[in-house]
Amino acid sequence: MITLQSFRTSVMTPKRQKMESACSDVDPSPCKGRIRLYFFGYGTNPLNQPKSGNPAWSPVGQEGLAWGRPALGSGAFLIPYLIFLFTCGIPLFFLETALGQYTSQGGITAWRKICPIFEGIGYASQVIECYLNVYYIVILSWALFYLFSSFTAVLPWATCNNPWNSNLCVDILNRSSLDNGTLPANATSPMIEFWEKRVLGLTDGIHKLGSLRWELALCLLLAWIICYFCIWKGVKSTGKVVYFTATFPYVMLITLLVRGVTLPGAAEGIIFYLKPDISRLADPQVWMDAGTQILFSYAICQGCLTALGSYNKYTNNCYRDCIMLCFLNSTTSLVAGFAIFSVLGFMAREQGVPIAEVAESGPGLAFIAYPTAVTMMPVSQLWSCLFFLMLVFLGLDSQFVCVESMVTALIDMFPGVFRKKGRRELLILAIAVICYLLGLLLVTEGGMYIFQLFDYYAASGMCLLFLAIFEVICVGWVYGANRFYDNIEDMIGFRPWPLIKICWLVFTPGMCLAVFLFSLIKYTPLKYNNSYVYPAWGYVVGWLMALSSMVCIPLYATFILLKTKGPLKQRLTQLISPAEDLLQPKKHAEGLSEMRRQGWSPPVQKVLSSTERETNF
């Protein structure tokens, strides 16, 4: 659920107050959309081979309830998931939100304010946002295609009597049609063939992109048009519609859960979901997927939380909000698992195969397993429409927040250009057009292979883990966990639970670093559907996309260190010191005054002024 409140009335520095006054008195357009936002969402995370890859529904509306965590489901995944939740998810979620609220800055300038040498964290997160804006919305084009295909007398994926079906297609919902009641070797279901042959038109590999799927291209265009008009005037332009788009999925989740648990074989699926398989804990991919699930479903290391937190009042109790949101997110994710694995258990029984085999494909889960479920419901066309309409709503919520984060970053960097009437709309239009044109590559017949590269490398858990390590190092060790706790106490009136500070200092960087290194050592190249092996150049492209975000942190640190003048020690001191205009508790303010008397000067504004910007939607 997204709650839109009145314009922010936070405690501001004189500079901020002057800006607010200018916005209201001169040209109101740059200030449109400066709203306090709360995003309640779902917590599974979708794509990446068996992993539910990226967006799940999270505090920023990411998508995952539908993508579940298939092959790695089971207790083998729940154990590291819960460990990551308490040692990384909640501490990082709170860190980014509190940072935005404290600095009143977006995803780039917030890091500059507290520690200029780590500004590269902000740039890295925006690179990941760029990739997400290109490939995530492709999921919406698939959902729209299924939605339009649902307006038929018989759902096209319900039977094998279609032109795209092969001789191997077997209607698993009508086993009586088989001669001996058993499935032949290499049999496929009509749901799988509709997905691979009708929707994707899948080719033999990435080397053969084939032609453009014009129906998907039109659906992608429609998704961008809807997204544009949702955000062109700011998040508030979505109005009261957001209340429906956020609550409607809960109704569908409960409905699908009730239907799922009443299917034959549902018990086996739920047991597979809950029963721990301790031997799987030695698999680094399980831990990698757990970390990815947490970081993506909570929208951590993407710049969104910092930007949204910056709209809170300075005295808002962000600690309470973060704890509530995190538990709501993960609780919904775990409940969604019952709906997912009950259907997977049914499919496994009907096909006579282990559940792990049924659940081996990532992005296809929402477009194979759930279409199977709605096919078995009375008035299946209605349930199909409702389900894919739910995906579209949730996907849009996620997409326009991702775009808004990028728009905010660009406006922050070039306020003189974009903070003029009509410029914001043109900027969003330019982003939409560029991302749409790039996204056309992903809706070709071989586009799924490119999509998987984006999901597995460009916006991977490895990149997010790398960013998370530097975030906690910056706040916990360089800026100082105790100082940040003092800032939080100044905002909310009390100090949060000490365990969160301990996580920032020890557990979070330790867990993220261990899994990051473990995943590098045990790295497994991407395989589509665990069978297709990419050519060498495909893996090179994937790693270049992954490195393009991670390299921002050391490159920017080197750049700003070389550009700043003075002896090395003085430069380091300046670049790890917070900005002068940040509100500091009395004891820290006195300490800074004492340092100034001893000859210390704050960060060199001449170096930073070329990029220093305020955050405004």
* Chain segment 311-351, per-residue pLDDT in tens: 788 999 999 999 998 998 888 888 888 888 888 888 788 76
Half-sphere exposure of 541 (CA within 13 A, CB side): 15
Which amino acid is residue 118, in one-letter code? F
d(CA 443, CA 440): 5
Percentage, residues of the chain above pLDDT 90:
38
In this structure, how many other beta carbons lie within 10 angstroms of the beta carbon of residue 258? 11
As beta bridge partners, residue 39 has 2
Residue 357: pLDDT over 60: yes
* Strands 35-39 vs 527-528: parallel, antiparallel or unpaired: unpaired
Contact residues for 553 (Cβ-Cβ < 8 A; gap 6+): 118, 120, 121, 124, 466, 467, 470
Contact by Cβ (8 Å): 391, 65? no
d(CA 205, CA 445): 9
Question: Given 3-state DSSP classes, what are the helix, strand and coil percentages for the chain, each rounded to the nearest 5?
Answer: 65, 5, 30
Q: Classify burial at 326, counting beta carbons within 10 Å of its beta carbon; exposed 0-12, middle 13-18, buried 19 or more.
A: buried
Percentage, residues of the chain above pLDDT 70:
77
Which amino acid is residue 200, in one-letter code? L
Residue whose C-alpha is closest to residue 268's, from 385, 191, 354 = 354
More confident residue, 205 or 24: 205
Q: What is the pLDDT of residue 263?
A: 83
d(CA 93, CA 41): 14
pTM of the model: 0.82
Q: What is the pLDDT of residue 183?
A: 64
The DSSP call for residue 5 is: E
Q: What is the pLDDT of residue 117?
A: 95
More confident residue, 396 or 95: 95
Taking only the tens place, the pLDDT of each residue in 93-118 is 999 999 989 988 878 888 999 999 99
Taking only the tens place, the pLDDT of each residue in 399-436 is 877 888 888 778 877 878 888 888 888 999 999 999 99
Contact residues for 577 (Cβ-Cβ < 8 A; gap 6+): 115, 116, 602, 603
The mean pLDDT value for 455-465 works out to 89
Contact by Cβ (8 Å): 110, 319? no
Complete DSSP assignment for 139-169: HHHHHHHHHHHTSSSS-TTS-S-STT--TTB
Q: Which residue has the tokens 């077997």?
A: 170
Residue 590: pLDDT over 60: no
Residue 488: pLDDT over 90: yes
Residue whose C-alpha is closest to residue 450's, from 203, 280, 261 = 203
Write down the mean pLDDT value for the chain: 78
As beta bridge partners, residue 212 has 444
Residue whose C-alpha is closest to residue 252's, from 151, 392, 72 = 392
More confident residue, 9 or 325: 325
The mean pLDDT value for 174-203 works out to 77
Contact by Cβ (8 Å): 170, 188? yes
Q: What is the pLDDT of residue 182?
A: 62
Which amino acid is residue 320, in one-letter code? R
